[in-house]
């Protein structure tokens, strides 16, 4: 889920080189632009727009990296890798990759989903991945 402040819409549309429809409000142009990249608007207010990525479509990481300077702190995207990952003990586990914006910087981390002491699933950090390599 990523959040974009309405004050940043025009700059984001320019960065994405999206001219849009002059008859539409900037927010509606951004919604249309984001739909082209498989991001659907799930919440809208006078101050911000919230988007989620279509889980049925692959993430365009180059596009996501372009969005980072325009999204609010703590925005994130998660996906399950196609294969299992090895936890720190070498066991094959389901995993999750999380890309989050922290301090204006994109961080990508791969986690293994393991059972905690209480029997509930927890995330075990496996590695931090350079977003430029994805």
> By C-alpha distance, which of 83, 96, 84 is closest to 125?
96
Q: How far is CA 58 from the centre of its chain?
A: 12
Cα Rg, the chain, nearest whole Å: 17
Strands 92-93 and 48-53: unpaired
What span, in angstroms and rounded, lies between the C-alpha atoms of 79 and 36? Answer: 19
What pLDDT, on the 0 to 100 scale, is given for residue 21? 87
pLDDT at position 133 over 80: no
User: What ranges do the domains of the chain cover?
Assistant: 2-71, 79-133
Select the more confidently predicted residue: 26 or 61. 26
**H or E stretch covering 36:** helix 26-36
Average pLDDT, the chain: 91
Model confidence, pTM: 0.82
Instruction: Look at strands 39-44 and 48-53 and give their pairing.
Output: antiparallel
pLDDT band at 57 (very low <50, low <70, confident <90, very high): confident
pLDDT one-digit tens code per residue, 17-47 = 998 888 889 999 999 999 999 999 999 999 9
């Amino acid at each position: 889920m990523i959040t974009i402040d309405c004050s940043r819409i025009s700059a984001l549309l320019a960065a994405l080189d999206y001219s849009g429809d002059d008859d539409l409000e900037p927010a509606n142009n951004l919604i249309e632009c984001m739909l082209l990249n498989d991001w659907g608007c799930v919440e809208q207010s006078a101050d911000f727009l919230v988007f989620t990525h279509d889980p049925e479509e692959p993430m365009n990481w180059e596009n996501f990296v372009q969005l980072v300077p325009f999204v609010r702190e703590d925005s994130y995207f998660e996906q399950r890798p196609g294969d299992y990952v090895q936890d720190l003990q070498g066991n094959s586990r389901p995993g999750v990759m999380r890309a989050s914006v922290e301090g204006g910087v994109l961080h990508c981390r791969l986690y293994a989903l393991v059972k905690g002491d209480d029997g509930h699933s927890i995330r075990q950090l496996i590695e931090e991945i350079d977003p430029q390599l994805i």
